[in-house]
Amino acid sequence: MKYEKNQYSDGFSICTLIIAGAFLWWGIERFINWGRGWEWWGFVSTGIGLAILIGQIFALTNRSKLRNVVLTEFNENPEATVEEVSKSTGITIKDIHAIVLDLKASGQLRAKFSSQTGQMKHLLHPEKEVTSGEQAKFCANCGTPKTKESAQYCAYCGAKI
């Protein structure tokens, strides 16, 4: 997989999909429009629309691969910082921050980072069975440590504890 700078955060766009749809609609409409005759511009706009659509599909698959690379790196080195993961993978810090947020939102990365050192702490592996004592300290949904003992809901994801 070839990585380009900020490919994760800048690679996929809903607006680009809308533009691809407009090109495809315009091109296909040129083929179907029986009243005016056949127009060769339909090939050009359909080709542009297909090229944009294929590029967006590849961007989505690359996002999945990049998430897996970062998740594997954090699982192998649970005390790593974002900068260390960036150096070892070659992914920009901007993209790693975006990937960490996506992984935390999906529940694949249940961890917090130290505010002093930037190292990951409180990593919970999803396949690991949590004990009742750990459950009382961490949110069962996202793995964020409880800030108050009397907390009824998680401050990070809003799940009931």
What structural domains does the chain harbor? 7-128 (1.10.10)
Per-residue confidence band for 22, with pLDDT thresholds at 50, 70 and 90: very high
Dihedral angle, C-alpha 140, 145, 148, 149, nearest 10 °? 60
Percentage of the chain surpassing pLDDT 90?
11
Check whether 128 has a pLDDT greater than 60: no
Cβ-count burial of 142 within 10 angstroms (0-12 exposed, 13-18 middle, 19+ buried)? buried
User: How high is the mean pLDDT of the chain?
Assistant: 78
Total residues belonging to the chain: 161
Residue type for position 122: H
Query: Which three-class secondary structure state does DSSP give residue 23?
Result: helix
- What is residue 35's DSSP assignment? S
Distance CA 138, CA 141 (A): 9
Tell if the pTM clears 0.75, that is, is over it. no
How far is C-alpha 18 from the geometric centre of its chain's CA atoms?
20
Q: Which residues pair with 56 in a beta bridge?
A: none
